[in-house]
Amino acid sequence: MKRNVEMLLLKLADGARILRFYEPSSGLCLEKRLQPDEPVARQKKRWERVFVNMLERELGVAA
């Protein structure tokens, strides 16, 4: 089942970035502080994959 995962990228005053994934139907979210020495796009893909896999494992396909 394809889940509707929302993504928000926040830039803090000190220049750090926080990546937040949110799944509205379950209310679950994942927030990660991104590594400044690694490309943002690569980290976004990796953490989205982790979040979706976690949702499928915890909530199952029928959710």
Cβ–Cβ under 8 Å, residues 20 and 7: yes
Domain boundaries, the chain: 6-59
- Quick one: which of 43, 51, 39 has its CA closest to 3? 51
Per-residue pLDDT of the chain (63 residues; tens, 9 = 90+): 567 899 999 999 999 999 999 999 889 999 999 999 999 999 999 999 999 999 999 888 644
Taking the model in full, what pTM does it have? 0.81
Q: Which residues 6+ apart lie within 8 Å of 47 measured at CB?
A: 19, 21, 30, 32
Cβ–Cβ under 8 Å, residues 1 and 61: yes
For 55, other C-beta atoms within 10 Å of its C-beta total 20
